Amino acid sequence: MKKKVLFVLPHMTGGGAERVTAILANKLVDKNCEVHIHTLITDDSFYYLRPEIKQSSDGVSVNRRNKITLLFCESFGFIKSMFSVLHKIKSEKYDIVISFFIETDVIVYLCKILGCNFMEVHSERNDPWQRSKMFKKIRCHIYKKCDKLVCQSKAVSDYFDFVEMGKKYIISNPIDKEKIPDRIAKHSKKIVSVARLFEQKNYPLLIKSFSLVCNEFPGYTLNIYGDGILYDSLLKMINELNLNERVFLHGAKKNVMKLISDAELFIMSSNYEGFPNALLEAMAIGIPVISTDFQTGVARELIGDDNGIVVPVNDEMAMSSAIRTMLNDYEKMLEMGYCNRKKCEQFYTDKIIEKWIEALEIE
């Protein structure tokens, strides 16, 4: 008998949780599951979804002109989505409902306590230490009551020590082996970074750190891929540092892995992260990496002396020193790149999806 699985998310635009949703949903179709993805805002998906997967959306819009209209839109949108998801679960009788975000965590939890019978699955996709006190309390209450909780690292799993071990799983993000481009043999003098242009990603740190060493390495450029609200302020910083011909903001690209496959170095400068897909994908391509030591511990789990450098969060001197160390030893970077490709084999999709299948108790 087919199991019916519902994913509930705010949207399916480009992002780590959305990417994992698409990969997992596509694979569940192979497991003879009936899969439905329901989003609160829009049903457009940045990632490929198989035609067998049902998609729906509440079409909630958010007006951010001022705090009053924002509060009204969010409150109305939440109530609308709450009743929409409740009706959907009651009428379709899903076996499993999966939520990755706090907004949808609350909706799914309320559906469960209102009498719906399904396996309630939640997953922390970001740094749990960064939540507000209110959201921490809400999330902790939900996670105590849910049937399954998926964490992305041991540090995050340990954070939720109040959750019973029998219903808690550590599952890393997957890499789609088929979509990893071959490493271009002739490397360009490119340093790359891939992330949304949000405060969390701390691109000012990366740009300033690069500015401290770029004159020592003529011809090298810093290339940033991603869109976001900080585009104008970052462009202003680049102009003020006279880096117009050395630092480039390329926007979001669907073929970003291919675009960075000739780079010599990948850098992640985030203040905090869950399990960053961009870092893992760069490693899978075979690019040596530098990353900040964000609190979830993933950078320390992925990076050692043989494949990259980990630096303290928001430490400009440490970051610039790491860039200098890397660019001064090209042969070492080649060895690191090869090591990264081998290390990432454990994250290939089939291996990670099997862990999800076990957690979801699917035959």
Bridge pairing between strands 308-311 and 34-39: unpaired
Sign of CA dihedral 132, 133, 134, 140: positive
Q: What proportion of the chain, given as a percentage, has pLDDT over 90?
A: 71
The interaxial angle of helices 102-113 and 67-92, nearest 10 deg, is 50
| Pairing of the two strands 34-39 and 247-249 | unpaired
Q: Identify the pLDDT of residue 14.
A: 72
For the ranges 59-63, 211-215, 227-231, which has the lowest average pLDDT?
A: 59-63
Q: What is the pLDDT of residue 75?
A: 54
Distance CA 318, CA 17 (A): 30
CB of 306 within 8 A of CB of 288? no
**Residue 288's CB: how many other CB atoms inside 10 A?**
27
pLDDT of residue 60: 67
Residue 132 CA from chain centroid, whole number: 20
**Mean pLDDT, residues 202-231:** 97
| Highest-scoring range by mean pLDDT, 18-22, 155-159, 235-239 | 235-239
Say what the pTM is.
0.81
pLDDT for 145 beyond 90: yes
Asked whether 317 and 294 are in contact (CB, 8 A), the reply is no
What per-residue confidence (pLDDT) applies to 49? 94
For the chain, give every domain's residue range: 4-174+348-360, 177-346
Euclidean distance between the first and the last CA atom of the chain, given in angstroms as a whole number: 10
193-204 in b/e form (b: 16+ CB < 10 A) is bbbbbeebbbbb
| Tokens read off for 119 | 């396996």
Q: Could you confirm whether domain 4-174+348-360 is CATH 3.40.50.2000?
A: yes
pLDDT at 66: 46
Would the pLDDT of 136 be above 80? yes
Contacts of 30 (CB under 8 A, 6+ apart): none
Average pLDDT over residues 314-342: 96
Q: What is the tens place of the pLDDT at every residue in 70-97?
A: 344 445 567 888 889 999 999 999 999 9
pLDDT of 290 reads 98
Q: What is the pLDDT of residues 327-338, one digit of tens each?
A: 999 999 999 999
Tell me: pLDDT of 68 over 70: no
Q: Write the Ramachandran bin of 226: left for phi over 0, alpha for psi from -120 to 50, otherwise beta.
A: left
pLDDT in tens, 149-171: 999 989 999 999 999 988 999 99
What pLDDT score does 64 carry?
A: 43
**Residue 48: CB atoms within 10 Å:** 11
pLDDT tens-digit map of 92-114:
999 999 999 888 999 999 999 99
Q: Report the mean per-residue pLDDT for the chain.
A: 90
> Looking at residues 322-348, what average pLDDT do you find?
95
Which of 71-85, 221-235, 335-349 is predicted least confidently?
71-85
Domain covering 177-346, topology = Rossmann fold (3.40.50)
pLDDT at site 76 = 52
